[in-house]
């Protein structure tokens, strides 16, 4: 339980801007297969959202394989939240992102923090 608590405290310190938290190593690019696994959807749905939403701009290598950055992953999370969780239509989600992009990003950041908190609390409960 102590290690779980110390990990959560380190995450909180990083979230509030304390500079001495050790950073986790994140990949620069994710393949289409990794992204589909993260979101639990088919590649065709990711490609469809790429065509429908201008904020998704994955890079392509010489073979034409899509390489998604952290920003692309964050944008996909926002799109999935709007379409799947909140029930927006594609046009409604597009309009919302055009007019409230910074608000949508901040909301997604809060959702991610709450999900980490939930995971931590479930780990604590299971260790008791």
- Residue ranges per domain, the chain? 25-127
Q: In this structure, are residues 75 and 53 in contact, taking their beta carbons and an 8 Å threshold? A: yes
Q: How far is Cα 69 from Cα 125, in angstroms, rounded to an integer? A: 34
Written out in words, the top-level CATH class of the domain with range 25-127 is mainly alpha
Predicted confidence at residue 53, as pLDDT, reads 92
Q: C-alpha distances in angstroms, 38 versus 33, 42, 80, 95?
A: 9, 11, 12, 25
Q: C-alpha distances in angstroms, 7 versus 3, 13, 26, 27?
A: 6, 10, 17, 21
List the structure tokens of 32.
Answer: 């289409």
pLDDT digits (tens, 9 = 90+) for 91-119: 999 998 888 888 888 888 888 888 888 98
Predicted confidence at residue 67, as pLDDT, reads 93
Closest CA to 53 of 87, 35, 27, 77: 77
Q: What mean pLDDT, rounded, does the chain reach?
A: 83
Q: What is the mean pLDDT of residues 51-78?
A: 91
Predicted confidence at residue 25, as pLDDT, reads 61
Does the reported pTM lie above 0.85?
Answer: no
């Amino acid at each position: 339980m102590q290690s779980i608590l110390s990990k959560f405290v380190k995450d909180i310190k990083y979230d509030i801007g304390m500079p001495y938290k050790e950073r986790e190593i994140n990949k620069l690019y994710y393949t289409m297969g990794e992204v589909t696994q993260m979101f639990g959807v088919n590649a065709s749905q990711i490609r469809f959202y790429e065509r429908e939403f201008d904020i998704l701009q994955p890079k392509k290598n010489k073979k034409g394989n899509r390489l998604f950055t952290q920003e692309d992953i964050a944008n996909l999370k926002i799109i999935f939240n709007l379409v799947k969780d909140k029930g927006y239509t594609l046009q409604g989600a597009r309009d919302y992102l055009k007019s409230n992009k910074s608000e949508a990003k901040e909301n997604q950041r809060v959702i991610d923090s709450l999900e980490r908190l939930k995971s931590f609390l479930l780990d604590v409960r299971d260790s008791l």
